[in-house]
Amino acid sequence: MKIFYSDNHRKHYPPFEVFDGGKRVPYLENPNRMDQILNALKKTDWADLNQPTDFGLDPILAVHDKDYIAFLASAWTQWLSSDPEVAASPEQNAFLPATFALRRTPRVPSTLLGKAGYYIMDLSACIVEATYAAALTSAYCALSAAEFILLSTVNRPSSAFALCRPPGHHAGNDYAGGYCFINNAAVAANWLSSKGKVALLDIDYHAGNGTQDIFYERNDVLTISIHGDPDFEYPHYIGFADETGSGDGIGFHRNFPLPKGTGNEGYLSTLDEALNLIKNFAPNYLVISAGMDTFDGDPLGTFKVTREGIGEIGKRIAALHLPTAIIMEGGYANEALGTNIVTLLENFK
Ligand code: SP5
Ligand code: ZN
């Protein structure tokens, strides 16, 4: 199986994030996640690791606001030169606002911190020097996987895995959040949408709010997310069952919020509903936002999906026999992450 990965993410390693209650904790979305996955993939005889192609900025700007991308590109440098304390020990710092734009208006502030509260939705999208380059390369991994499934005509519907870090599904057109800066899966799905109908299924534990926002008024990309009910879980304000699209997009977004403690049985019966919607839509291409934080024991999740459950999820998605780009999202039980990803991907090789 074609896998697209780059080491460019490594220096994107903020020294902390902030949890509920103002608790400063080590950054859970860390480079070790990739090492766990790489080690497990290298033990298989089917993982074919490739560097991503540079697609330039156009496919990114087709999904993201240009002023937001310019903000991401320059935020760290500006932050560094704005404060001597940061300049004195940059490695102990991360760029984060403390004030957020509640129900914002279209007016973008002119100052760095004003922009930060406008473009960032929470305290886990920390920006450091290497963040923008890492986010761009991560999107190129997703685009490379999309290009591979588009071009490969050999042996039946093909699939490819984009080992993306940072993840993407919480990033919207003009905002970062939840460890995400550029929405890799949305960039890939939008790129594919010029070649055919696309379905994007998000199986990360958290609602794919960024993806939902980006495609909400479109009917050429069906977006579906299965996740912890936002009534109790991050991102809290979006991802409810009655949000089904607007304008031309009515009926082309679906959310499946599930209760705390959801296990294999509850998850798989919901997955079957989602897969039926995809079958009825009859897409040419499938993009999967593949978060592994539904796994029992994930430090950010409450679900009880087991390794066997993840295998079954992979099997049922693969049974659609669609060209499929699998995009890495979350998953923080690092010691199980490699095995879980291999268990998912085995169904697509
Ligand atoms: C890509 C992805 O999975 N992003 C998830 C970001 C979630 N950030 C929310 C942090 C809320 C912390 N709650 C701590 C609960 C620990 N039991
Ligand atoms: Zn997640």
Kindly state the percentage of the chain with pLDDT values over 70.
99
pLDDT in tens, 153-171: 666 679 999 999 999 999 9
Could you read off the pLDDT of 87-124 as tens digits, one per residue?
999 999 999 999 998 888 999 999 999 999 999 999 99
The 3 state secondary structure assigned to 162-183 is ECCCCCCCCCECCEEECCECCC
Which of 16, 19, 237, 302 has the most ligand 1 atoms within 8 A of CB, as the residue to mutate? Answer: 19
227 is catalytic: no
265-278 tens-digit pLDDT? 999 999 999 999 99
Which amino acid is residue 304, in one-letter code?
K
Per the listing, tokens 């020097």 go with 129
178 Cα to the center of ligand 1, angstroms: 7
Residue type, 135: A
Q: Which ligand approaches the C-alpha of residue 167 most closely?
A: 1
| Atom number in ligand 1 closest to CA 170 | 1
In 83-228, where does DSSP find H-type helix? 84-88, 112-119, 131-151, 184-193, 209-215
Are β-strands 23-25 and 17-19 bridged in parallel, bridged antiparallel, or unpaired? antiparallel
Catalytic residue of the set 9, 64, 170, 206: 170
Residue 332 CA: which ligand 1 atom is closest? 3
pLDDT tens digits for range 140-157: 999 999 999 999 866 667
- The residue to mutate among 300, 302, 337, having the most atoms of ligand 1 within 8 angstroms of its beta carbon, is 300
| Mean pLDDT value of segment 21-36 | 97
Closest approach atom of ligand 1 to CA 180: 1
How far, in Å, CA of 76 to CA of 73, rounded? 8
Q: Which of 6-15, 95-104, 195-204 has the lowest mean pLDDT?
A: 95-104
- Cβ count near 133 (within 10 Å): 15
* Predicted TM-score of the model (pTM): 0.97
